Structure 1
Amino acid sequence: MFRNLCGGVANRPPTHAPPAVPFGAALRFWLKLGCISFGGPAGQIAIMHRELVEQRRWISEPRFLHALNYCMVLPGPEAQQLATYIGWLLHGTRGGIAAGALFVLPSLLLLIALSAAYLAWGQLPWVAALFYGIKAAVAAIVLHAMWRLGGKTLKTPLAWALACGSLAALAWLKWPFPVVVLGAGAIGWLAARVAPAQVVVLVAAAATPTTARATVIDDHAPPPPHACFSRRGLARVLGVGALLWVLSMGALIAWQGWQATLTQMGWFFSKAALITFGGAYAVLPYVNQAAVQQHQWLTAAQMMDGLALGETTPGPLIMIVAFVGQLGATAEVVRACGGASGCAAWALGWGAVGALVATWFTFLPSFVFILAGGPLVESTRGKLALTAPLAAITAAVVGVIGSLALFFIAHVAFPAGAAAGFDSKPDWAALALVAAAAWALARLRWGVIRVIVLCALGGGALRWAGLA
């Protein structure tokens, strides 16, 4: 089924294709992406699309969307998995590991530092003022992502129906994210059998190139040799992934014992990594219940503060697990030493270990999903029965991003009343910042970092002037 997709002349890459991307240049980009990947998954996907598809032309739009559709149906952080997938497609296993790790590393180091500062000094007014502006920029980034993807994808009545339906299902009906995504895929599969002519238009709309300029990985190019499916390769990746997990968990049990905090963190975040369908917001209630109520690694107020840090730092929002791991490990040391001399330094170091444990067990399955499933996904390109469900998911994702945009705007406009029925007056200053940031992104075509920095300064100025 898969063997004939790795050879032949029908899909031979065009002779005008640009030269391959140097591995060093890719490393520099993935590190940059890890430092600027604000805005949650929608914003991060938008950044990757602009950088990789429109500007650098490393991958064509159809292949980018094909990879995105696969990542959307996986448990775990879809933006980090998309970076891993594209890195793997460009440079094989080493490229995938480098892309996925560098996507997370800056956020991990920053969260460890911020968590330590949070434990030492708590919240400072000037930091809260900067976060006030950054949250407005994040809402604008998500809005911009919805506008861009919708303009490329919503070209048919079926696409519009899927986008509007997914928005209503998530924002008002509160359906689980997996139900929405799988339902969209099922509709695409059914439409391919009942009305194939309409589905061809849907697939073509989802795969319309952004520009005619050549790409390094063109849509007509066959999978590179490392992307060819083989049962031996699949077994090898699954075996290595399972071995790494067994060795890691075994080391924690041998070192700390089964009931120790670090071991329980490794076990809990391994389970969380396999059920995080729908991104961070879908799994946060599960993490909150276990970390706050069951294990008491941190308090409910600290969990909310960690979510704020996760929303306003680069990297996937699920990186809040590093904050949970750090505070849980730190609390264990504080309880053990009872404020004795030298406790602070020991707690700081042990907290960093907790953050690393939580991050390792959360993200290990994501690498396995991509490196094992990537060749299978590459083999489905061009098959209507398989691409139609993925194209339908792409249309539904527009509504998913719209739901996320509504969530962010509601919490920007009603920071105190969003969870209590919006009884308070809207924060018009924050909404003005959102509108200005959206205008700068869409019309002035300003970069994400520029918008975030200016919004942070604007938020600080508004707070200083007493207008917010």
Structure 2
Amino acid sequence: MTDSESFTHVQPVYSLKQLTQYFLKLGTLGFGGPIALVGYMHRDLVEERQWVSEAEYQEGLTLAQVAPGPLAAQLSFYLGYVHYGFLGSALVGFAFVLPSFLIVVALGWAYTLYGGLNWMQAVFYGVGAAVIGIIAISAYKLTRKTVGTSWLLWSVYLVNAVTTIVTESERVELILGSGALVLFIKFPPKHWIKQNRLNSFIGLPLIPLLAAVPTATTSLLGQIALFFTQAGAFVFGSGLAIVPFLYGGVVKDFGWLNSQQFLDAVAVAMITPGPVVITTGFIGFLVAGFPGACVAAIAMFIPCYLLTVIPAPYFKKHGKNPKISTFVNGVTVAATGAIAGAVVVLGRQSLHDLPTFLIGLIALISSWKLGKKLPEPLIIVIAAIAGVIFWPKQ
């Protein structure tokens, strides 16, 4: 039996139609960001319905953390692959992403049509400030979870945070290099030769380098496809990890959006269900209409899909290798540092007067102290009302 066959030899107790319907519902009603979404999957598919074993779920979650891309979407790809292979993975992923994509396209249309009106500008005046507070507390929680007390990891974290603040963009080469540095320090190359296990752990770190080589083009859609393919192939960590990467490209490099429009796009991702990175569809719509939304979303998720299902059999066999775990840990800490730096970069753009500072501070405290009692979409709605009340250009 081959590795790929080991996923499907057990007869599932559910149909592909049932699994697809579940993820269509989750993509429609699943609020709360990547951590909440993967929690729903565990509760529903492992604990309650018992469609997926604990071991299969944990393997999928680990691979989703190892490979670049959005955590919740990658876990959905993997769970679809477990018993129904490539077709199951594709259908499940499409069902999970489609509802939120349609929502952000509709919001993009409304934003484009009414963005010049005072009431919409006032709404995003408050929402943009609240987003800073939410991202800040998320970055704090990620920092506590990933960095620990290691001086090496803190050094990696701080270097990436400061670099993001100074350059106002995420440096992918620095993040990947951070993973390699941590690996080299904890596992010097002499041990690789001695153990003769080099080929057993270098495959996955090289995957994102091989995947992000799309054909260059001078057209706008070609630029969108190229940029978002790189985003899908290089962004590690939670959904928020994409924020500094997108800001560097969309605002700084290409100038497709200004800082306020970018913050509005992040806010839209937070008030819609499904994966946070669906903000790419909103951005694509603002840049090039519906074709831009489609190209951006497809380019974002195709690398994530391939980087989940192609190494899946390999990872099932070798995923617990300590060298892979060490590389991933270094990359995750570096990405977390970039998120922390992005809070500063975006905060300078959005918190520019007393009302926005207070809205951001209240959103941060609410996210920290109230947690599940006050979900992020509700915080965004309250911030929108505050924006209408306190917007200075009335």
Tell me the TM-score range normalised by the shorter chain. 0.5 to 0.7
Q: Secondary structure at the match of 1:172?
A: helix
- The reply on whether 1:112 has 2:92 as its aligned counterpart is no
- The reply on whether 1:268 has 2:226 as its aligned counterpart is yes
Structure 2, gaps ≥5 residues long: 165-170, 193-210
Q: Is 1:84–1:370's contact at 8 Å kept on the other side of the alignment? A: yes
Report the equivalent of 1:456: 380
Within 5 Å, give how 1:45-444 maps onto structure 2: 46-53=35-42, 56-57=45-46, 66-72=59-65, 74-122=67-115, 123-130=120-127, 132-133=129-130, 136-141=133-138, 143-144=140-141, 149=145, 160-161=150-151, 163-174=153-164, 176-187=174-185, 189-190=187-188, 193=191, 261-262=220-221, 264-265=222-223, 268-269=226-227, 272=230, 276-278=234-236, 279-280=241-242, 281-288=244-251, 291-292=254-255, 302-303=261-262, 305-310=264-269, 312-316=271-275, 318-329=277-288, 351-381=289-319, 387-393=321-327, 395-396=329-330, 399-400=333-334, 402-403=336-337, 406-407=340-341, 410=344, 416=350, 427-441=357-371
What amino acid is aligned across from residue 226 of structure 2 in structure 1?
Answer: F
Write out per-residue CA displacement over residues 175-231 of structure 1, whole angstroms, 9 at most, x where no aligned residue.
62222233334455449959xxxxxxxxxxxxxxxxxxxxxxxxxxxxxxxxxxxxx
Cα 1:135–1:63 shift into 2, 3 Å: farther
Q: Is 1:132–1:460's contact at 8 Å kept on the other side of the alignment? A: no
Cα 1:5–1:259 shift into 2, 3 Å: closer
Q: Is 1:319–1:359's contact at 8 Å kept on the other side of the alignment? A: yes
Report the equivalent of 2:207: none
What amino acid is aligned across from residue 182 of structure 1 in structure 2?
Answer: A
Cα 1:360–1:93 shift into 2, 3 Å: same
Cα 1:47–1:146 shift into 2, 3 Å: farther
What amino acid is aligned across from residue 282 of structure 1 in structure 2?
Answer: F
Structure 2 distance, partners of 1:188, 1:30, is 40
Write out per-residue CA displacement over residues 312-335 of structure 1, whole angstroms, 9 at most, x where no aligned residue.
544555444433433343xxxxxx
Write out per-residue CA displacement over residues 112-143 of structure 1, whole angstroms, 9 at most, x where no aligned residue.
11111111111342354355445544544554
Structure 1, gaps ≥5 residues long: 14-18, 195-240, 250-257, 330-350
Q: Is 2:67–2:308's contact at 8 Å kept on the other side of the alignment? A: no
Structure 1 distance, partners of 2:28, 2:141, is 20
Q: Is 1:169–1:180's contact at 8 Å kept on the other side of the alignment? A: no
What amino acid is aligned across from residue 285 of structure 1 in structure 2?
Answer: G
Q: Secondary structure at the match of 2:370?
A: helix
CA drift at 1:388: 0.6
Structure 1 distance, partners of 2:61, 2:183, is 14
Q: Is 1:80–1:100's contact at 8 Å kept on the other side of the alignment? A: yes
CA drift at 1:434: 1.8
Q: Is 1:72–1:78's contact at 8 Å kept on the other side of the alignment? A: yes
Structure 1 distance, partners of 2:190, 2:36, is 31
What amino acid is aligned across from residue 93 of structure 1 in structure 2?
Answer: F
Structure 2 distance, partners of 1:259, 1:378, is 40
- Structure with more helix by fraction: 2
Larger radius of gyration: 1
Q: Is 1:163–1:396's contact at 8 Å kept on the other side of the alignment? A: yes
Q: Is 1:170–1:403's contact at 8 Å kept on the other side of the alignment? A: yes
Structure 1 distance, partners of 2:3, 2:334, is 35
Q: Is 2:77–2:90's contact at 8 Å kept on the other side of the alignment? A: yes
Structure 2 distance, partners of 1:285, 1:291, is 9
Cα 1:362–1:62 shift into 2, 3 Å: same
Cα 1:114–1:84 shift into 2, 3 Å: same
Structure 1 distance, partners of 2:344, 2:258, is 25
Cα 1:66–1:187 shift into 2, 3 Å: farther
CA drift at 1:380: 0.9
Q: Is 1:69–1:391's contact at 8 Å kept on the other side of the alignment? A: no
Q: Secondary structure at the match of 2:318?
A: coil
CA drift at 1:101: 1.9
Structure 1 distance, partners of 2:163, 2:324, is 23
Q: CA RMSD in A?
A: 4.6
CA drift at 1:352: 1.5
* TM-score relative to the length of structure 2: 0.67
CA drift at 1:64: 5.0
Report the equivalent of 1:341: none
CA drift at 1:33: 3.8
